[in-house]
């Protein structure tokens, strides 16, 4: 019996829901996602309204399809193996997009609502602190705020999305909203511990944090005239919000985008080390779909975002 025959009972074999050759058994993937997210077969079974043995069966089907074990027994508990953790990291964003899209469609008829998707740090550091002003002017509009899935933008179901990149996304009209230039910062406590940092050479000897990639610090040091090679070591974080948490915890210095951390700089919690920004060519863009027109409510939010961005420069 080949692999397809062994898991064929997991999904319809023919008709409109038939699996393509490389499609995983979707019910099995859903069962695994519930196990990984909730931490146990029992909890997954309760959420999915099936028996624990049925959940275990779906897990075996998925492992058979992938031809690798995803879990292992640790005493009486079921734990994710390294392969399982990696697979869960890959599929959880897809499930998040699916749930957001479903909720968006269900709520479209709920009233005058606009859905906007944001990168987490942009939302926390810039959009949400200003949102009260919009709501004062438009008390009759409900704002639905989602995380932007920045690794899979085409799956974004929002009316408006604030994206980070070079401004080109298929199916979207985009306009630059805000510069993505970065400046070096650290926490006030970090500076107390290490002393005043007067030169880029001093900075190079200190712990450095990396936001999503390790290439920006070498670019900054090169622009600052430092000739020696820059080490690429130090913690790397998936996004700016995690990087900010690392800076606040005193783990090191990071290159961050000033408009998004302005409140922390004003309060003195974070310190700008040098007024020497670096521009890697990526900026923040306001994006709307080409295939649909914004509602009047969406247009109001769009115009407000443009106005706020101009005033915050």
Residues 169 and 189 placed together within one structural domain of the fold: no
Higher pLDDT, 190 or 98: 190
Give the integer Cα–Cα distance in Å for 172 and 13. 36
Residues 287 and 172 placed together within one structural domain of the fold: yes
Residues 196 and 256 placed together within one structural domain of the fold: yes
Residues 61 and 11 placed together within one structural domain of the fold: yes
Q: Are 153 and 126 in contact (CB under 8 A)?
A: no
Residues 85 and 116 placed together within one structural domain of the fold: no
Q: Are 91 and 29 in contact (CB under 8 A)?
A: yes
Residues 250 and 296 placed together within one structural domain of the fold: no
CATH number at residue 21: 1.10.10.10
Q: Are 98 and 112 in contact (CB under 8 A)?
A: no
Distance of alpha carbon 80 from its chain centroid, rounded?
23
Give 182's strand partners: 257, 278
Computed over its alpha carbons, how large is the radius of gyration of the chain?
24
Name the token pair of 148: 């932007």
Mean pLDDT, all residues of the chain: 87
Q: What percent of the chain has pLDDT over 70?
A: 87
Distance of alpha carbon 247 from its chain centroid, rounded?
18
Residues 119 and 143 placed together within one structural domain of the fold: yes
- Least confident segment among 4-18, 72-86, 230-244, 272-286: 4-18
DSSP state for residue 150 in the 8-state scheme: T
Residue 66 lies in a domain: yes
pLDDT over 60 (residue 32): yes
Residue 265 lies in a domain: yes
Higher pLDDT, 186 or 12: 186
Residue 100 lies in a domain: no
Residue 101 lies in a domain: no
Residue 216 lies in a domain: yes
Among 127, 179, 177, smallest CA distance to 309 is for: 177
pLDDT over 60 (residue 97): yes
Give the integer Cα–Cα distance in Å for 304 and 313. 15
Give the integer Cα–Cα distance in Å for 67 and 248. 43
Measured from the Cβ of residue 3, the count of other Cβ atoms closer than 10 Å reads: 11
Give the integer Cα–Cα distance in Å for 166 and 149. 16
Mean pLDDT, rounded, for 3-13: 43
Angle among Cα 14, 18, 24 to the nearest 5 degrees reads 135
- Give pLDDT, residue 21: 59
Higher pLDDT, 312 or 301: 301
- Give pLDDT, residue 197: 93
Residue 181 burial class via C-beta count within 10 angstroms: exposed 0-12, middle 13-18, buried 19 and up? middle
Q: Which range of residues forms the domain containing residue 296?
A: 111-178+282-312
Residues 186 and 174 placed together within one structural domain of the fold: no
Helix 128-137 and helix 296-312, axial crossing angle in degrees, nearest 10: 130
Residue 104 lies in a domain: no
Give the integer Cα–Cα distance in Å for 313 and 305. 13
pLDDT over 90 (residue 51): yes
pLDDT in tens, 143-169: 999 888 665 555 567 899 999 999 988
CATH number at residue 198: 3.40.190.10
Residues 192 and 256 placed together within one structural domain of the fold: yes
Among 275, 211, 153, 48, smallest CA distance to 58 is for: 48
What total of structural domains would you count in the chain?
3
DSSP string covering 161-195: EEEEESS--TTEEEEEEE---EEEEEEHHHHHHH-
Residues 19 and 81 placed together within one structural domain of the fold: yes
Residue 17's contacts (CB-CB under 8 Å, 6 or more residues apart) are 11
Helical spans, DSSP H, in 79-228: 82-107, 120-122, 128-137, 188-194, 200-204, 216-223
Residues 186 and 267 placed together within one structural domain of the fold: yes
Residue 102 lies in a domain: no
The residue behind tokens 């090191």 is: 252
Residue 277 lies in a domain: no
Residues 292 and 253 placed together within one structural domain of the fold: no
């Amino acid at each position: 019996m080949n692999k397809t025959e062994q898991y064929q009972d997991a999904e319809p074999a023919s008709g409109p829901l038939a699996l393509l050759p490389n499609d995983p058994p979707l019910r099995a993937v859903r069962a695994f996602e519930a196990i990984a997210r909730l931490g146990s077969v029992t909890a997954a079974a309760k959420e999915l309204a099936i028996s624990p043995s049925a959940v275990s069966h779906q897990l075996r089907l998925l492992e058979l399809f992938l031809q690798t074990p995803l879990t292992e027994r640790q005493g009486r508990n079921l734990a994710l193996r390294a392969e399982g953790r990696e697979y869960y990291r890959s599929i959880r964003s897809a499930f998040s997009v699916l749930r957001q899209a479903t909720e968006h469609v269900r709520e479209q008829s709920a009233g005058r609502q606009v859905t906007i998707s944001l990168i987490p740090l942009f939302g926390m550091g810039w959009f949400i602190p200003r949102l009260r002003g919009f709501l004062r002017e438009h008390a009759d509009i409900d704002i639905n705020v989602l995380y932007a899935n920045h690794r899979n933008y085409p799956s974004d179901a929002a009316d408006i999305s604030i994206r980070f990149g070079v401004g080109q996304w298929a199916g979207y009209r985009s306009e630059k909203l805000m510069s993505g230039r970065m400046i070096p910062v650290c926490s006030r406590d970090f500076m107390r511990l290490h002393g005043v940092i007067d030169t880029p050479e001093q900075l190079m000897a200190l712990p450095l944090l990396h936001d999503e990639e390790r290439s920006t610090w070498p670019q900054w040091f090169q622009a600052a005239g430092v000739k020696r090679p820059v080490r690429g070591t130090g913690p790397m974080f998936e996004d700016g919000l995690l990087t900010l948490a690392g800076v606040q915890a005193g783990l090191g210095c990071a290159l961050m985008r000033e408009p998004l951390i302005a409140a922390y700089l004003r309060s003195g919690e974070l310190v700008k080390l040098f007024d020497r920004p670096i521009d890697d060519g990526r900026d923040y863009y306001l994006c709307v779909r080409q295939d649909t027109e914004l509602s009047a409510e969406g247009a109001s939010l769009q115009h407000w975002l443009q106005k706020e961005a101009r005033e915050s420069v």
